[in-house]
Amino acid sequence: MTTERQPLRADARRNREAILAAAADLLGARGDDAQMEEIASHAGLGIGTVYRHFADKRSLVAAIVGRRFDAATELALAAEQLTDPAEAFERLLYGYLESVEADSAFRRALLGPQEPQWDAIAEQKAALGDVVQRVVARAVDAGVLRSDFDAEDFVLITRGAMANMTAEGHWRRHVQLQLEGVRPVPAGSTRGP
């Protein structure tokens, strides 16, 4: 059973945004070492205000991830509108990775030892997953990707790229190598040794 949430008042909305921005800064820089009290101070708010919005740090991390998933879903829907399945897939892949490149809090949340509270953001995760699945299926059907490629493989590629996001930009090379491995092999040829 889902419950309808009342829209936040303007001041509560500003406070929530300040908390999310402060958390993104501190969690991105220090990971789980950042404490809720520090996040409150960084946001210029009292700790009680933080806890009124987020029960604990895990729910705060889930909100950061959920917000990024919402943005990624918009990007994915735009990519899905492209006529060329190859262009749609690559626009989705690179667009998603470019959008998270500067978001170290999001990357830490996905790649860290403690997964976000997925139940808190199940709707956002499912919405993104549905669009990714459609874009991937269309690319597979068009012969742009190998026939056994699926949305879970998209996740593997993006997480691998995120793990390689350094100042030198090595993630792009990682993705290029991965894409060469997921394109179909022409009939009569073999791949690798």
Give me the mean pLDDT over the 40-66 stretch: 91
| Residue 118 CB-half CA count within 13 A | 7
- Pick the range with the lowest mean pLDDT from 12-16, 46-50, 115-119, 138-142: 115-119
Q: Residue 58: which of 3, 113, 129 has the closest Cα?
A: 113
What kind of fold does domain 9-54 have according to CATH?
Answer: Arc Repressor Mutant, subunit A (1.10.10)
Share of the chain above pLDDT 90, in %: 54
Q: Which H or E run includes 186? A: none
Q: Is the pLDDT of residue 132 over 70?
A: yes
pLDDT given at position 117: 72
Q: How many other C-beta atoms lie within 10 A of the C-beta of residue 63?
A: 21
Give per-residue pLDDT as tens, 136-159: 999 999 999 999 999 999 999 999
* Residue extents of the structural domains in the chain: 9-54, 56-182
Q: What is the chain's mean pLDDT, rounded?
A: 87
User: Is a pLDDT exceeding 70 seen at residue 19?
Assistant: yes
Single-letter code of the amino acid located at 88: A
Q: CB count, 10 Å around CB of 31?
A: 15
DSSP 8-class letter at 81: T
Per-residue pLDDT averaged across 37-55, rounded?
Answer: 93
**Residue 3 clears pLDDT 50, i.e. is over it:** no
**Helical ranges in 31-169 per DSSP H:** 36-43, 47-53, 57-80, 85-100, 104-111, 122-141, 151-163
How buried is 48 (Cβ within 10 angstroms: 0-12 exposed, 13-18 middle, 19+ buried)? exposed
Please tell us whether the domain made up of 56-182 is placed in CATH 1.10.357.10.
Answer: yes
- Amino acid 181 reads G
